[in-house]
Amino acid sequence: MKQFRTTALVGMAMAFGGIAQAEEVLRGVSALPPNNVITQSFLEYVDMVNEAGAGVVRIEVIGGPEAIPPGQQDTALRNGVIDIQGGPAGYYAGTVPESEALTGATVTAAEARANGAFDMLKAAWRDRLGAELLAWNGNGTQYYLYLSEVPELDAEGNVVLSGKKLRSAGTYRDWFDAIGAENVMMEQSEVFSALERGVVDGFGWIAFVSDVGVNSLLKARVGPAVWQGSPVIMMNGARYDALPDEAKAVLQDAALALEEKIAAEMPARMASEEERLTADGIELIEPAPDAAARYSDVAYSVVWDKLAKTAPEFEAAIKPLLYPAP
**Residue 252 forms part of a structural domain:** yes
How much of the chain, in percent, has pLDDT values that exceed 70?
94
Q: Mean per-residue pLDDT for 235-258?
A: 98
Same domain, 289 and 310: yes
Please state the domain count of the chain. 2
pLDDT score at 170 = 84
175 and 154 share one domain: yes
Residues 255, 298 within the same domain: no
Residue 7 lies inside a defined structural domain of this protein = no
Q: Are 25 and 74 in the same domain?
A: yes
Q: Are residues 62 and 27 in the same domain?
A: yes
Whether residue 67 lies inside any domain: the answer is yes
Q: Higher pLDDT residue, 34 or 86? A: 86
Predicted local distance difference test score (pLDDT) of residue 5:
42
At residue 28, the pLDDT reads 98
Whether 216 and 179 map to the same domain: the answer is yes
Asked if pLDDT for residue 6 goes beyond 70, the answer is no
Residues 109 and 244 in one domain: yes
Query: Is residue 4 one of the residues assigned to a domain?
Result: no
If asked whether residues 212 and 247 sit together in one domain, one would say no
Instruction: Say whether both 91 and 123 belong to one domain.
Output: yes
Q: Does residue 326 lie in a domain region?
A: no
Between these two residues, 13 and 183, which has the higher pLDDT value? 183
Both 304 and 182 in a single domain? yes
Would you state the pLDDT for residue 3?
43
Three-state SS letters, the chain? CHHHHHHHHHHHHHHCCCCCCCCEEEEEEECCCCCCHHHHHHHHHHHHHHHHCCCCEEEEEEECCCCCCHHHHHHHHHCCCCCEEEEEHHHHCCCCHHHHHHHCCCCCHHHHHHCCHHHHHHHHHHHHHCEEEEECCCCCCCEEEEECCCCCECCCCCECCCCCEEEECCCCHHHHHHCCCEEEECCHHHHHHHHHCCCCCEEEEECCHHHHCCHHHCCEEEEEEECCCCEEEEEEHHHHHHCCHHHHHHHHHHHHHHHHHHHHHHHHHHHHHHHHHHHCCCEEECCCHHHHHHHHHHHHHHHHHHHHHHCHHHHHHHHHHHCCCC
Q: For 161-195, write each residue's pLDDT tens digit.
A: 999 999 998 889 999 999 999 999 998 889 999 99
Q: Which domain holds residue 257?
A: 12-134+231-267
CATH code of the domain covering residue 176: 3.40.190.170
Question: pTM value?
Answer: 0.89
Given a cut of 90, is residue 98 above it in pLDDT? yes
Residue type, 62: I
Listed range (6-15, 29-38, 303-312) with the worst mean pLDDT:
6-15
User: Are 115 and 187 within 8 A, CB to CB?
Assistant: no
276 occurs within a structural domain: no
Answer yes or no: is 321 within a domain: no
| The pLDDT value given to residue 10 | 40
State whether 76 and 153 are in the same domain. no
pLDDT, residue 83, reads: 98
Q: For residue 198, is pLDDT > 60?
A: yes
pLDDT in tens, 257-302: 999 999 999 999 999 999 999 999 999 999 999 999 999 999 999 9
Is the domain of 65 the same as that of 181?
no
Is the pLDDT reported for residue 90 higher than 90?
no
Residue 272 lies in a domain: no
Query: Average pLDDT over the chain, rounded to whole?
Result: 92
Average pLDDT over residues 55-62: 98
pLDDT at residue 20, as a whole number: 55
pLDDT digits (tens, 9 = 90+) for 117-158: 999 999 999 999 999 999 999 999 999 999 999 999 999 999
**Residue 37: what pLDDT?**
86
CB neighbourhood size of 161 (10 A): 21
Task: Encode pLDDT of 100-123 as tens digits.
Answer: 999 999 999 999 999 999 999 999
